[in-house]
Amino acid sequence: MSIMRSVLLAGAESVWLRERAMRYPFVRRSVSRFMPGESMTEALEACRRQQAERGTGAILTHLGENLETLEEADAVTRHYLELLDRIEAVRLDAQVSVKLTQLGLDLGRDACSEHLAELAARAQAHGTFLWIDMESSKYVDATLDVYRRVKVRTPRLGVCLQAYLHRTAADVESLLPLAPAIRLVKGAYREPPDVAFPKKADVDENYLRLAERLLRPGLPPGTFLGIGTHDERIVTRLQALVTERRLNADAFEFEMLYGIQRQLQARLVREGAPLRVLISYGEFWFPWYMRRLAERPANVLFVLKSML
């Protein structure tokens, strides 16, 4: 792992740094490149613009994690129910993604599963899709357990897996009988080398290997891959693989973050590739922001420019 990436991921975990950095105008200016605003209304407006101007759908997520009470989890669930209803009311091509620690995972899997099931049922009733974000490695077993519980009841449910974890290939195989929807990302948490590949080249290789497995013909009908990467080399290789295997467009899509690799996103739109943009909003943005910088340290240059 590079020194820059290690520093940024350590910063994401620092309460001291979060409390101070969020006060500075240049930090707020720089984060606006990657997040259209803190409110639900601002996120929905950004989604509307994406759809009107570029024809791309979106995935919306309200930032936050690790709640302390079930009452807080109830409030988050109500927030997401409202978001799903507002998406339906204005006919946006938008999905929703949630962190299970926002829904009370630290307080028990049963309560978390019920919160997730309520959201998944509302998403399914509106004809849209619900995603589960993956968090640090200590949550993988619990997250996949809750995913399996709820997917049996509401099929329009997907889960994120991280290519930098050694275990992910086995997790993919265990999920395939469920005809899963999987968003594959590289990973953005600090993990020890016995848990995650420390070298970028190894993560990239594993990403391609996992994506190739999930794009293989003959998988259970309904299996879906969200290709969550901004790496143009990987995107180009997977585009070639999709063409070679003559895969239907409903078997995969590219998923990229708002404001990152804008030229690559524009190229995919021009080429007619399925693309969905992840739009985050909320007041708890600092840890998320530092992880986004760690995923692509070149964005640190943009922050430095913002200071000037």
Active site positions, annotated? 133, 183
In whole angstroms, give the CA distance from residue 144 to residue 165: 14
Nearest to 66 by CA among 14, 115, 101, 118: 101
Q: Which residue has the tokens 């009988």?
A: 177
CA dihedral 186, 165, 250, 179 (to 10 degrees): -170
In whole angstroms, give the CA distance from residue 103 to residue 99: 7
